[in-house]
A = this chain, B = another copy of it.
Amino acid sequence: MEFTCRSSQDNSYKIILEWNAVDRILEILQQELLIDSFYIISDSTVFRHQGRRLQSALGSRSHPFLVPPGETSKSLRQWHKIQDFLVRSGADRRSVLLAFGGGVVGDLTGFAASTYMRGLRFVQIPTTILSQSDSSIGAKVAVNHPKAKNLIGSFYQPRLVITDPSLLQSLPRREFSAGLGEAIKYGVIADPSILDLLDQHMERILAGDQELLTDLISRCIQIKIRVVEQDERETGLRKILNFGHTIGHALEQATGFRRLRHGEAVGWGMLAAGYLGVKNHLWSESEFEQLQSVIFRSGVLYPLGKLRPESILHALKHDKKKTGKSLNFVLPVRMGEVKIVSDIPQPDVLEAIKFMMKTGTTNMKNRKSKIKNAN
């Protein structure tokens, strides 16, 4: 399958969704006239599992640069190291960076590409569900600042996105589940059929079924394209993509960007946002229950560890999406439709955080004991 994401800056780019696309990557790159020196940026885990496959498909024209896995690599420090690597390797304006990894690698590589020599071409080759279905599309690239996630970044289009769901087969279970966080989000904000798909086939999806996975990712890609085409610079519509992200970002920050995967934080954040939707009489309890059930079964929730609700609230205030003093929330109206609400009082936010922590944690315990009892 092929999709095109149109950009206002004449920088439209193609998304190729194809099982085993990586194995014919050289042919794909050549078709898109990306034929100069390639520099692979990847993380050590992805590269251990899939690096040889990529390199052998590329032939000898590849110089890999590896970062440690995890959100902490989305840092100014790694960005500096990539610069030094590119200088050392003699990269010039014709060079092409290949981002081979999840959202962290894509965002980091994209930001490096956008700022090196005022802009190198880069290709996204996402290797996780999150990056295949979400972060590889939309031109938002960034690294984290100690004070806030994604604070340093730009809008910068890739030249091409090569999405190969076969890469997901080597993902550890935790990584796989974390990725479902953003897919669930797409269900709530734009397409109830995604939630139904997950609801009906969760077990086969978690087992890596080729057809279902490709279907799921294809639906997410199409929504993401629709949203970013209408609002490339995140002045309006695109904000709906932040469903679950307001609390999600705060959670990541309050846990030092180390404990949780991004999709996991979004999974937790959707519990809080859903609660606020119901609390504000915007959303029905029954739909919220369907969402909770899908979240729990996906395995996207990961223990928060020791964390006070107040420290999450504190982190919230640094969220860059705030305009002025009020906190913006994306809240569900019905499955497939959300609205942006900007005047949520702090006590309600705190209440939602407490609900999220209690419900999520209780459910995880129940599931654990169920598994124990079953054994």
Contact = CB atoms under 8 A, between A and B. Distances in A.
A322 B93 CA distance: 9
A152 B10 contact: no
A148 interface: yes
A10 B8 contact: yes
A148 B91 CA distance: 12
A155 B76 CA distance: 20
A151 B117 contact: yes
A266 B115 CA distance: 24
A154 interface: yes
Given A83-B151, A87-B145, A87-B151, A115 B118 contact: no
Given A145-B87, A322-B92, A323-B93, A119 B155 contact: yes
Given A116-B152, A151-B83, A151-B116, A320 B92 contact: yes
A259 interface: no
B87 A117 contact: no
A308 interface: no
Given A76-B80, A92-B323, A148-B87, A154 B8 contact: no
Contacts of A152: 83, 115-116
Contact of A147 (B87, B147, B148): B87
A30 interface: no
Contacts of A140: 118
Given A115-B115, A117-B153, A154-B154, 17 more contacts: A9-B9, A76-B80, A83-B151, A87-B147, A87-B148, A87-B151, A87-B318, A115-B152, A116-B152, A118-B142, A118-B150, A118-B153, A118-B154, A118-B155, A118-B234, A119-B154, A119-B155
Contact of A154 (B115, B148, B151, B234): B115
Sorted nearest first, the 9 A-B pairs with minimum C-beta distance are A87-B147, A118-B153, A9-B9, A117-B320, A115-B152, A118-B154, A118-B155, A115-B154, A114-B154
